[in-house]
Structure 1
Amino acid sequence: MVFEIDEGPETGIAAITFLGNKAFSDSDLRQVMVTKQSSWWRLFSTNDNYDPNRLDYDREQLRKFYTNRGYYDFRILSSVSELKPDNGAFGVTVTVDEGDRYNFGEIKVVTENDRLNADFLQLLLPIRKGDLYESDRIQAAVDTLTFAAGSAGYAFVEINPTYRADPETDTVNVTFNVREGQRVYIDRINVVGNTRTLDSVIRRELMVGEGDAFNRSLVERSRNNLRALGFFKDVKIEETRGSAPDRSVVNVTVEEQPTGELSVGAGFSSVDSFVLNLGITERNFRGRGQNVVARAEWGSLRQQIDFRFTEPKFMGRDVRAGFDLFHIRYDLSKYSSYDYRSTGGGVRVTYPLNGYANFSTRYFLKDDEVVIPFGYCGSGVGGGSSALCDQAGSFINSSAGYTLLVSRLNDPVRPTRGWSASLRQDFAGIGGDVNYIKTEADASWYYGIRPNWVVSVQGQAGYVSGWNGDPIRINDRFFKGGNTFRGFETAGMGARDLTTTDALGGNFYAIGTVELTLPNMLPEEYGIKTSLFADVGTIGKLDDRYLVDSATGLRNPNIVDDLALRAAAGISIHWRSPMGPIRFDLSKVMAKEDYDKTETFRFSTSTQF
């Protein structure tokens, strides 16, 4: 028997119409729904095809939308789909009853166990009397109480919220009933899903062990530790009942993801500079958690070859150690009429201070060479910058330093809450030919104002000063622009010689950034995210000897070193393309000095294997 099937064309959605809505417009409600009206530009999307199951999901999304905005009594009275004979597409009509807007009334916590103090638990709730009613805050309160009970060792608690609405006062009274079992201990820990990563690599990141009392906060921190490794696409930690009522089995389920990365990047500036880089990174070498990086970069500005190796658990202890080898050449003739080359290596060690802070130390030995073009420093009109001509030569830099890092982010990969900060200092002069102290600090803060809307604020500053009478050489100064300050070319801002247009960098900089990550404007399958940014900052403050004309002893009017404010704003587009992540930056400079160099476009790509 043969069945011949004619599927016919796909049926679209001609229109989505709402009846009974007063607080929100039709367009607002359409944005909530996954189902979309058919349009020519949705060529690659299937969300504009008629699907009854998707419409059922959309009704639940509408209910969440309203109940998260105070409409406790919201109901969908009907949802009707009619096939229009003229164009063969469906028209969807949703009739709603919004009801009144409610606030939270009395909030109570009731518990059967005196060791879980109800008054204390109530203080932890993210809900207060008089707040606008939001259904998601009920779930957040349940999560908070569950977390608090788990931190006290009670793994299997049941928290049932009960509601009592008062239509006369438009309030909803909520009582959280906490029922808990006895204190629970970890019977065993199962690790599954690790097809490549060694079991020991996962277990060493866990902050609980077999036989320990179950502690939900330590379990959550263990999950963050595993996510921070970057080895896994997803990490789940679940507890089930063990061999006895007071025993628990912890199941750690991981989903491996590619940890090797073949990266290719390119960038353009307004003066047609071009950079291409190629790198191979393996963050989980041989499944042992070791990090190996080999990278090469070619371009009109920078050529670099370097190799890095990091052992995250040196000698079996909670100490990260590694070494670096590198050769770098900066051809800055386009920006500052000199060529900088550096060859060397170093060792580094990182110690965790606690669950939130790390302290790292390092030592580097390198040979730095500054090459000035032949004839650049000739006498007479058209001679080179006096701030550059005494920089030529090769110098040994022997330096030691440290970095203190503190992170209180809620998620190490995609933070939506919390902050992080670091302080870095390097001391050059442990032998060698140069002497300076370089200090840099930065801080970041994240806050999710709505789902998929995240505001981040970053600030960074640095200062370098010589000691033993030494000035700061040009290769040890700060240069900002390009990737470090969008809207400006590499070395495009800061002190400059007006005669030669050479960039001279600065001994000091301060930069602040505000960025808003926006929700997806296109379907999730496109993998496109957008953010708006604004960068503001300054750089400058050369040593006095570089600001003075050596012939006259007076201030050189051709060298400008103003700590003037620079600012730029724009949009960044992140695309998870088939060939890997791609980022586009479009910038508009809002404040600059006349001698600064600007750019408007930059992009970079990478490919995983």
Structure 2
Amino acid sequence: MTIKFRGQKLSSKAGVRTLIGATAIVVGLGAATLPAPVLAQTYSFNTVAIEGNKRIEPGTILSYAGIARGQRVSAAELNDAYQRIIASGLFESVEIEPRGSRLVIKVVEFPTVNRISFEGNKRIKDEDLSAVVQSQSRRVFSPSLAEQDAARITETYAQQGRLSARVQPRVIRRSDNRVDLIFEVFEGGVVEVERIGFAGNKAYSDSRLRRVLATKQAGIFRALIRSDTFIADRIEFDKQVLRDFYSSRGYVDFRITGVNAELAEERDGYFVNFNVEEGQQFKFGEITATSDLPEVDTDLFQRAIKVRPGKVYSPSLVENEIARLERLAIREGLNFIRVEPRVTRNDRDLTLDVELLLTKGPRVFVERIDIEGNTTTLDQVVRRQFGTVEGDPFNPREIRESAERIRALGFFADAQVEAREGSSPQQVVVDVNVEEQPTGSLSFGATYSSTTGTGITVEFSERNFLGRGQQLTLGVTTASESQNYKFNFYEPAFLGRKVGFGLALNYVETDNLSVGYDTATGTFSPSLSFPISESGRLNLRYTADFKEMKNPGDVGDITAAEVAVGKVWQQSLGYSFSYDTRRTGLDPNSGVLLEFGQDFGIDDNDEHFLITSVRAIAQTKIMNEEVTLRATLEGGALDYSGGGGRAIDRFLLGPSKLRGFDYAGIGPREIGTTAGGAAYNDALGGNYFAVARFEAEFPLPVPEEYGISGGVFYDVGSLWGLDNTTTSTGTVYYEDFTPRHVIGASIFWDTAIGPLRFNWTKALTKERFDQEQTFDLTISTKF
């Protein structure tokens, strides 16, 4: 009897698909081609010979065959042996031939992979594709594995929205039974999301819901933006984002009944539609803290609850209250206290009563915290995100919050935190598995400012310096009228405490920047910052700097006298307090920021000074969160003993403070004619300033994918106060408080290079010598 399999030889042009096909056909027909009388025969072999093997040991082949010398075997068992050898994946062809008492097994080994290469790929680099495939150089070539690798590469392209990508594995025969494995890639085009729609939404418009999703509609920057690429996994993420959005706004019955994704006839775009049921919006009813434990003072915990009845219900607010009560329990020495929320639904008045039950949890301790995967980041950076250390009572909520803090660092592409049973049921081990990602950047770019002109900027930034979680920034900006060199360093956990240490070094030169002289300033400022309450933070700083006014042009007496002083060194100690409800605010659509700071200093002429600054910002959203209202109040005061302050020390307002005017465009001015007959108009700055800015931002009736919205604003402010007004060649104007009023309109444009803001302004009230600015282009900043 002869059982043969002859797989097709690999030639320089033979494909892997042909090889696999031939294998399947012969395997399927091998048993069927045997003559019927042979199946009843049995054989006994004194010797088993292996032929054709070069790399594979004969003993290995015999182990796959499973036939021992002298063993009587049937034809069916010989076929089983053949199938086992083929299934090893080591041989291109196998032939089993009984020759009397001798069994001959002829094999043709699969070649080894000489090298793996990729052709036709442009969007994904070779090294990224190499990480996807499982075929390896210097390993036995496997046609089935090569096909699986091609499928993996195709799926990788599909994750980038290239659904039409095709991958063909090819082999090229080399000497010494080796082959080159080549994956020929046709990348195809990106399938974009042409339109996102919603059905069933009443409380919020389509445009508002589209802003929530991670998937975006294809717009005018479709060639640069990847968020408009259709990716099925991203749609699943968007479904969860929508649920969280509605849940945080009191729609506890919200659900998504389906998502329809239809491919356009041209197969180059998808139309995605979310079918939703919003339900009714619920608010908080009674919120109570209860307990059946005698050691718990429920009145104390009741007073700690901040959410009040009538507030729109949000699960995150409930979680915040639970965390607050559990922290209070720890401070009161009550270990293993757990807070269980019990929600009672009142459909009649659409409220939810929340009972926060304080109970005794199991006595479980943290045995240890194991951290893996951090090849760059030090263990201590991860460990300090935990409010729990080894030996502390185990709190599942604290572990979940710690996991969120680790992810929020931005150091890791993935971070998984899980708890498992330790050496005893009363102990747990917390496993932290992280995957590092790049945290540094080197950027080159161009800058534009209405005050400093165009320039070039180079900046190096590292958010996880030396794996210690420290931030380091080095930057150089050179503009037509300004040069800025900066070094910033920040340690978020100074001496292992919840204290931030910062160090700032800056050097700035300006060339006749809207004033009649050049300036040079250098600053050295270390600082410490730390939380003092749930929403409050305190910053303490020391500042040493020098300021110089030089190279005057045609200037008046006051400015000339100040330039003549030359370089002045100053030292100061200061503090600033900030209260920010966005950190733990009860309303996701509203927030308040309050800042107050003072610097007490002395210069090298023994002149003392005090600088006071204050800022308050409030923001809210109305009309179903379509319109954003924002109000800002800001002011400052400079008190210089002996009237020693110069213009470089005083406040000079620009469009960043009061829109509608140039830098140093308002405030006290010395205007006159020099002894040589040249006219001058010197901005002197002021000891005091106060501004109020009010603005509204709203959508415009343009396609949303353009990323354009509009706004209107009203600003009012003034700059005033001088210690010295003596001049012999001119006159000092606007030394007193004189408010300016400005109205304007804005266009906000989210572009591929960043959010831009275009301002058109009109001064309703201004003074004769003010320098007005009717247009301004800036990088948009958000509160």
Normalized against structure 1, the TM-score is what? 0.69
The residue type paired with residue 480 of structure 1 is L
Q: Deviations over 1:267-286 (max 9, x none)?
A: 242x8933443333334432
Distance, in Å, in 2 between the alignment partners of 1:36 and 1:322 is 37
Q: Which moved more, 1:495-504 or 1:57-66?
A: 57-66
Question: What residue number does 1:140 align with?
Answer: 317
Which of 302, 307, 332 is the matching residue for 2:482? Answer: 302
Distance, in Å, in 2 between the alignment partners of 1:370 and 1:458 is 35
Give the match's secondary structure for 2:689.
strand
Distance, in Å, in 2 between the alignment partners of 1:340 and 1:46 is 45
Structure 2 CA distance for partners of 1:520 and 1:201, relative to 1, 3 Å: farther
Structure 2 CA distance for partners of 1:588 and 1:186, relative to 1, 3 Å: farther
Give the match's secondary structure for 1:391.
helix
Q: Deviations over 1:495-525 (max 9, x none)?
A: 2234523322112122344567879999999
Structure 2 CA distance for partners of 1:307 and 1:223, relative to 1, 3 Å: same
Structure 2 CA distance for partners of 1:225 and 1:480, relative to 1, 3 Å: farther
Structure 2 CA distance for partners of 1:452 and 1:438, relative to 1, 3 Å: farther
Which of 610, 619, 627 is the matching residue for 1:438? Answer: 610
Distance, in Å, in 2 between the alignment partners of 1:504 and 1:95 is 61
Structure 2 CA distance for partners of 1:528 and 1:394, relative to 1, 3 Å: same
Question: What residue number does 1:474 align with?
Answer: 647
Structure 2 CA distance for partners of 1:128 and 1:307, relative to 1, 3 Å: closer
The answer as to whether partners of 1:330 and 1:339 remain within 8 angstroms in 2 is: yes
- Residue 588 (1) aligns with residue 761 (2): yes
> How is 1:328-367 mapped onto 2 (pairs within 5 angstroms)?
328-332=508-512, 335-342=514-521, 346=524, 348-350=526-528, 352=530, 354=532, 356-364=536-544, 366=546
Question: What residue number does 1:538 align with?
Answer: 718
The residue type paired with residue 484 of structure 2 is Q
More helix by share: 2
Q: Which moved more, 1:55-64 or 1:393-402?
A: 55-64
Question: What residue number does 1:380 align with?
Answer: none
Distance, in Å, in 1 between the alignment partners of 2:410 and 2:219 is 39
Distance, in Å, in 2 between the alignment partners of 1:74 and 1:353 is 37
Give 1:479 shift. 1.2
Structure 2 CA distance for partners of 1:457 and 1:237, relative to 1, 3 Å: farther
Aligned residues: 572
The answer as to whether partners of 2:549 and 2:562 remain within 8 angstroms in 1 is: no
Q: Which moved more, 1:418-427 or 1:150-159?
A: 150-159
Question: What residue number does 1:462 align with?
Answer: 636
Give 1:437 shift. 0.5
Alignment root-mean-square deviation, CA: 5.8
Give the match's secondary structure for 2:669.
strand
Structure 2 CA distance for partners of 1:94 and 1:368, relative to 1, 3 Å: closer
- Residue 492 (1) aligns with residue 665 (2): yes
Structure 2 CA distance for partners of 1:353 and 1:111, relative to 1, 3 Å: closer
Give 1:388 shift. 1.8
Question: What residue number does 1:379 align with?
Answer: none
Q: Deviations over 1:228-285 (max 9, x none)?
A: 977568888776665455545455666655244536451242x893344333333443
Give the match's secondary structure for 2:777.
strand
Distance, in Å, in 2 between the alignment partners of 1:307 and 1:60 is 39
- Residue 397 (1) aligns with residue 568 (2): yes
- Residue 600 (1) aligns with residue 783 (2): no
The residue type paired with residue 476 of structure 1 is D
> How is 1:38-437 mapped onto 2 (pairs within 5 angstroms)?
61=242, 65=246, 68=249, 111=291, 113-115=293-295, 131=310, 136-138=313-315, 140-149=317-326, 151-153=328-330, 157=338, 159=340, 161-165=342-346, 180-182=360-362, 184-192=364-372, 194-203=374-383, 208-213=388-393, 242-244=422-424, 246-250=426-430, 256=437, 258-262=439-443, 264-269=445-450, 273-307=453-487, 327-332=507-512, 335-342=514-521, 346=524, 348-350=526-528, 352=530, 354=532, 356-364=536-544, 366=546, 368-373=548-553, 376=554, 384-393=555-564, 395-409=566-580, 417=591, 419-429=593-603, 432-433=604-605, 435-437=607-609
Distance, in Å, in 1 between the alignment partners of 2:274 and 2:547 is 73
The answer as to whether partners of 1:425 and 1:440 remain within 8 angstroms in 2 is: yes
The residue type paired with residue 601 of structure 2 is F
Which of 690, 694, 699 is the matching residue for 1:510? Answer: 690
Give 1:302 shift. 1.5
The answer as to whether partners of 2:696 and 2:711 remain within 8 angstroms in 1 is: yes
Distance, in Å, in 2 between the alignment partners of 1:300 and 1:215 is 58
Q: Which has the higher contact order (CA 8 A, sep 6+)?
A: 1
The answer as to whether partners of 1:242 and 1:249 remain within 8 angstroms in 2 is: yes
Distance, in Å, in 2 between the alignment partners of 1:67 and 1:392 is 58
The residue type paired with residue 294 of structure 1 is L
The residue type paired with residue 372 of structure 1 is P
Distance, in Å, in 1 between the alignment partners of 2:494 and 2:341 is 47
Give the match's secondary structure for 2:652.
coil
Structure 2 CA distance for partners of 1:537 and 1:212, relative to 1, 3 Å: farther
Give 1:481 shift. 0.7
Q: Deviations over 1:569-595 (max 9, x none)?
A: 554747473xx6454343534555241
Distance, in Å, in 2 between the alignment partners of 1:209 and 1:569 is 55
Give 1:372 shift. 1.4
Which of 714, 728, 734 is the matching residue for 1:550? Answer: 728
The residue type paired with residue 526 of structure 2 is R
* Stretches of structure 1 lacking an aligned partner (at least 5 in a row): 377-383
The residue type paired with residue 495 of structure 1 is P
Distance, in Å, in 1 between the alignment partners of 2:602 and 2:446 is 32
Give 1:439 shift. 0.7
Q: Deviations over 1:140-191 (max 9, x none)?
A: 3255225423552567847364545555x66666666665513554332344
The residue type paired with residue 350 of structure 1 is L
Give 1:476 shift. 1.5
Structure 2 CA distance for partners of 1:286 and 1:42, relative to 1, 3 Å: closer
The answer as to whether partners of 1:505 and 1:539 remain within 8 angstroms in 2 is: yes
Distance, in Å, in 1 between the alignment partners of 2:357 and 2:400 is 24
The answer as to whether partners of 1:280 and 1:293 remain within 8 angstroms in 2 is: yes
* Stretches of structure 2 lacking an aligned partner (at least 5 in a row): 1-16, 22-162, 165-187, 673-679
Question: What residue number does 2:144 align with?
Answer: none
Give 1:550 shift. 2.6
The residue type paired with residue 651 of structure 2 is F
The residue type paired with residue 772 of structure 2 is K
